[in-house]
Amino acid sequence: MKLAVVVGTTRVNRQSLKQAQWVLNEASAMEGVKAEIVDLADYPMPFFNEPISPRYNPNREIDPAVKPWLDKLEGMDAYIFVTAEYNHSISGVLKNALDYVTSEFTHKPATIVSHGSVGGARATMHLKEILSESRAVVIPQQVAFLGMHEGIDEDGKLSAELAANPYGPASALSTALSELKWYSDALSKARG
């Protein structure tokens, strides 16, 4: 499984990057998984301004600044979106990036690892709807991480207390990764 760990924020001093590193560390330890961080900060794109929805535009001319983002998504088998909660939703930069997507997610699994107020649960709710509309297969298991600022260090390592909690974020992420791998394997076979 080629897994994109998408960092859905770009602001200075963002916490999403260390959370993404935690996800990458755990995913990379799994057999049959090749994971990489896909950081939206590396894909600066203009505000979406295409005259017709990309999905319904047979004559679409992709902005050259957007093509690397779409090409990266196309080459992946599965996705984990790491997102903070901004004003009870996802960041504007993540929504903008997703507005450019057409068929890149079709029949591929995705899940969400969030943080913020109430663990980023409201951002997760919105993102699940957006990803479903983008034709991703959004798996039921996701990770809402409350207190992430103190719970993960800059290298993506959980605090000893959180790592030892059998009902904590480590367990939730392990379950989400196992489910994502299962869906990815099954959908990859179905896609042929």
Whether pLDDT at 71 is above 90: yes
Whether pLDDT at 192 is above 90: no
Whether pLDDT at 146 is above 90: no
How confident is the model at residue 50, as a pLDDT?
A: 95
Q: What is the pLDDT of residues 94-143, one digit of tens each?
A: 999 999 999 999 999 999 999 998 999 999 999 999 999 999 999 999 99
Q: How many CB atoms lie within 10 A of CB 173?
A: 24
Q: Mean pLDDT over residues 66-83, rounded?
A: 98
Residue 152 to residue 136: CA distance in whole angstroms: 28
Residue 6 dihedral angles phi and psi, to the nearest 5°: -85, 120
Going from the C-alpha of 185 to that of each of 3, 63, 79, 179, the distances in angstroms are 12, 32, 13, 10
Whether pLDDT at 149 is above 90: no
How confident is the model at residue 131, as a pLDDT?
A: 97
The correct answer on CATH 3.30.200.20 for the domain covering 2-191 is no
Q: What is the pLDDT of residues 153-177, one digit of tens each?
A: 999 999 999 999 999 999 999 999 9
How confident is the model at residue 89, as a pLDDT?
A: 97
How confident is the model at residue 52, as a pLDDT?
A: 92
Q: What is the pLDDT of residues 13-29, one digit of tens each?
A: 999 999 999 999 999 99
What pTM, to 2 d.p., does this model score? 0.96
Q: Mean pLDDT over residues 39-61, rounded?
A: 95
Q: Decide the pairing of beta strands 78-84 and 137-138.
A: unpaired
Whether pLDDT at 152 is above 90: yes
Residue 151: both structure tokens together: 């719970």
pLDDT band at residue 147 under the 50/70/90 scheme = confident
